[in-house]
Structure 1
Amino acid sequence: MTSSHSRISHMAASYPASDIRKMFNLALDFPDAVKLTVGEPDFTTPKHIKAAGIRAIENDNTRYVANAGIPELRQAIARKYSTRWNRSIVPGNVMVSFGAMEALTFALDVTVTPGDEVIIPDPSFPNYMGQVHRLGGIAVSVPVTEDNDFKLRAEDVRSSITDKTAAIIINSPSNPLGSVMDRADIEQIAALADEHGFTVISDEVYDEMVFDDSVFTSIAEVKPSTAEAEAEFDRFLAIGSFSKTYAMTGWRCGFVIGSEDFIAPMALLQEGLTSSLPGFVQEAAVAAIEGPQTAVEEMVASYARRRELMVERINAIEGLSLLRPAATFYAWVNVSEWGLASWELATQLLEKHNLATIPGSAFGPAGEGYLRLTFAVSDETINTACDRLEAFAAGR
């Protein structure tokens, strides 16, 4: 069967390839490599959540369900975030999705038309760029730098706004940076959205993975300084997921919360794409929210402890430096003193030292000079990986 480039749509042919996936595929040729690449918990799904899913299957909850999600899950999500955000959230404000990525896709679908601009942080999760491209939008990157502790600043956002700005994607806590945005910047971005009429799409999938005295603020919690005293900010779509919080990456359960005029058309889009997330998965998600949270607390405490090991080991290696991550399970390591492009460095580490990492350039031009390492691995794996980084440093 023959194929021609002209038979493929421009969108598909020019879709930005992920260097994360490229490195993942390259590492397949090194089956014994120590891998600090995969962004998922190293824990198993808590037993009571698995039991709820199994029970739902045994009770034959295996048919089509409502496009926007089963009522029980939408209500459980609404209750949780009404309390957390101190604002009224009803089931009509909630859409259940196939993971957070589908929620992001729908959020962009309802806010962006071809030619619109979407502001994104740089570095950031590369799928942001891809989804904007898919819709014919224009991604406008705003650099996020180490001199501001890797936090997106409202003043930098302001200078990137034009009359074509339809949305901004913010990500706090941040993948890959491990940072948490300051509340003041989130408030100012909300004010800018009100002033210029764009939507804030807030990726909050790591909202419960915050360490020490760091404080996470959702876009849904703020009131723009320009708003009246009783006014609530509603130009937002907040994206969440069960994957990281409850070690449920393979269950593919995400959600998006926003005003009903945003959420209602998403259900129509869901009908035309995947119909609905399986009911038994959603029953497991209800058990996750309404059941004991002890496992979540234990996982976060474990990540915090392993973060300390990673920070200690990395900062002892000549030519490397690491700001202590405030959240997530990612270490954003400054490797600029080693003088290699991040892709070249990651490739050499894999080929010469059997160590798989993610080059910072995979997350945008501002990621050059960094590597992303995950510490959602065992202490032994962290130590072995750092031993290999030391060996590389010694052999330069």
Structure 2
Amino acid sequence: MTLLEVNDLSIRYAVEDGSSVHAADDVSFTVERGETYGLVGESGCGKTTLAKSLVHLLDSNGYIESGEVWFDATLPAWEDDDGNPRREIVEDDSYPVRADGKTNLAALSTQQIRDIRWRDVALIPQSAMNALNPVYKVGDQIVEAILRHEPGTTKREADERARDLLERVGIEPDRADDYAHQFSGGMKQRAVIAMAMACGPDLLIADEPTTALDVIIQDRILEELEKLQEEFGVSILVISHDISVMAEICDRMAVMYGGKVMESGPKEDIFQRTANPYTLGLKNSFPTITQRNQSLVSIPGTPPTLRDPEEGCRFRDRCPFVVEECHASHPPMYDVESVESEGVRRESADQRSHRSACYRVDELEQIRTDATQEDTWTEQEIENR
């Protein structure tokens, strides 16, 4: 069952000269109940912007230009005695609620989204080191979130839950009385995860949850997330630039570049049947334990400026497989299965299928072979295209 449904979401940042930065363009994906979905890509591709937009935490100059974010949660005021959406509200176009009870988070007011945060959707911010208030005890910060969303809970009950949550993520309960500066980096990350789980959300957004941690602590943090998912049935949206993290934890994923989704689908398809030049280049830049004497190959050039970007595929200036068609418009999402089984490029709106935004998706076999060659990714080779 679908928990989160993002449809054609476009996000902009206004700048002083009156133009705007196209941080995300027509991004669509779904997150099912109980699954882990990943957004991966280089820094600046729009991953964190997407995460913050879901819960209205964009910077003051950021805004959702268009699109919808349908989430399977209903505000308490919109429920009848049986917990179902009230008919008069579903039929009133001024309320962002569909007949199936899903709420459009993008259309909620500031007060309405505050009722959703923590209780239904919780965010683990990118910098856990700075996410905790330095003048509040760690346990008190968790208690505050519980009391805000569960007014019937006593402070003593909230304190017991806070200590239990810390213990669940591997922190001694008594450390609830300590301040953030008394925690190590890994402990701060675990404390932020405990805080995010305080109100039992249905969706946990983890923005770079292992950044700035050594590989041992990274592995432990990922294990904690998996345990919490099994125990509470929470869905997780993971954002990372590290595809090795995605390979370990995700069920499905989307690869982003320049504010666009370049490839999406089940994790196994993305890694074993890669269908987009950018994803192939991204894989080349990460080491594997299965290939000895492997040379890491970086993608030449730099990501495009997203202030009024030019027409065409966002990856065209760095892609060794570019053709004339790539300069005219950004490619739609093609169904990879239909290409491989029928040899036909067919656009797909099925968010669960393996899809790729590439005009040469019908030449995958040759592209996959060429992409493994280091010479393919030289700047000279790309300029000759």
TM-score where L is the length of structure 1: 0.31
Structure with larger RCO (C-alpha < 8 A, sep 6+):
1
TM-score where L is the length of structure 2: 0.31
Question: Which structure has more strand as a fraction of its residues?
Answer: 2
